[in-house]
Chains A and B, each alone.
Chain A
Amino acid sequence: MTVWIALVASALIVWALKNAGYLFPPRFVEGALMSRIAGLVTVALLASLVVSQTLQSDDGVAVDARLPAVGVAAILLYFRAPFLVVLLAAGAVAAGLRFFGFLG
Chain B
Amino acid sequence: MTEQPQDALNTRARAQGIQVALAVSLYGISFGALSVALGFSIGHTMVLSLLMFSGASQFAFIGIIGTGGVAAAGAAIASAGLLGIRNGLYALRMSPLVGPGFWKRALAGQLTVDESTAVAIAQPNEESARHGFWASAVALYLGWNLATLIGALAGDALGDVRTWGLDAVAAAAFLGLLWPRLASREPIAVAIAAAALTVVLIPVVPAGIPVLAAAAVGIVLAMYRHRVAPEAPSGGEEKAA
- Report if B119 contacts A (CB, 8 A): no
Asked if A45 and B27 sit within 8 Å, CB to CB, the answer is no
Partner of B76 from A10, A19, A46, A73 at Cβ < 8 Å = A10
Within 8 A of A (CB), among B53-93: 53-54, 56-57, 59-61, 63-65, 67, 70, 73, 76-77, 79-93
- Report if B167 contacts A (CB, 8 A): yes
* Interface locus among B7-15, B123-131, B138-146, B212-220: B212-220
Please report the C-alpha to C-alpha distance between residue A30 and residue B88 in the assembled complex, in whole angstroms.
10
Q: What DSSP secondary structure best describes chain B's contact surface?
A: helix
Asked if A37 and B219 sit within 8 Å, CB to CB, the answer is yes
Asked if B81 and A83 sit within 8 Å, CB to CB, the answer is no
Asked if B110 and A50 sit within 8 Å, CB to CB, the answer is no
Please report the C-alpha to C-alpha distance between residue A37 and residue B142 in the assembled complex, in whole angstroms.
31
Please report the C-alpha to C-alpha distance between residue A98 and residue B171 in the assembled complex, in whole angstroms.
16
Identify which of A41, A86, A93 gathers the most chain B CB atoms within 10 Å of its CB: A41
Tally of chain A residues near chain B (CB < 8 A): 72
Within 8 A of B (CB), among A74-104: 74, 77, 82-84, 86-87, 89-96, 98
Partner of B23 from A3, A5, A83, A89 at Cβ < 8 Å = A83
Please report the C-alpha to C-alpha distance between residue A21 and residue B92 in the assembled complex, in whole angstroms.
5
Asked if A66 and B171 sit within 8 Å, CB to CB, the answer is yes
CB-defined interface of B35-68 with A at 8 Å, one 1/0 digit per residue?
0000010001001100111101101110111010
Please report the C-alpha to C-alpha distance between residue A19 and residue B177 in the assembled complex, in whole angstroms.
23
In the assembled complex, the CB of A41 is this many whole angstroms from the nearest CB of chain B, namely 4
Partner of B51 from A11, A56, A87 at Cβ < 8 Å = A11
In the assembled complex, the CB of B233 is this many whole angstroms from the nearest CB of chain A, namely 9
Report if A18-B84 is in contact (Cβ < 8 Å); known contacts: A7-B61, A46-B174, A84-B26.
yes
Q: Which residues from chain B contact A66 at a C-beta distance below 8 Å?
A: 167-168, 171
Q: Which residues from chain A contact B157 at a C-beta distance below 8 Å?
A: none
In the assembled complex, the CB of A98 is this many whole angstroms from the nearest CB of chain B, namely 7
Asked if B178 and A19 sit within 8 Å, CB to CB, the answer is no
Within 8 A of B (CB), among A1-47: 2-15, 17-22, 24, 26, 29-30, 32-47
Identify which of B163, B168, B186 gathers the most chain A CB atoms within 10 Å of its CB: B168
Report if A47-B214 is in contact (Cβ < 8 Å); known contacts: A90-B168, A91-B166.
yes
Closest 8 CB pairs of A and B: A21-B91, A39-B235, A44-B218, A94-B165, A48-B214, A90-B172, A94-B168, A69-B168
Which A residues fall within an 8 A CB radius of B? 2-15, 17-22, 24, 26, 29-30, 32-56, 60-61, 65-66, 69-70, 73-74, 77, 82-84, 86-87, 89-96, 98
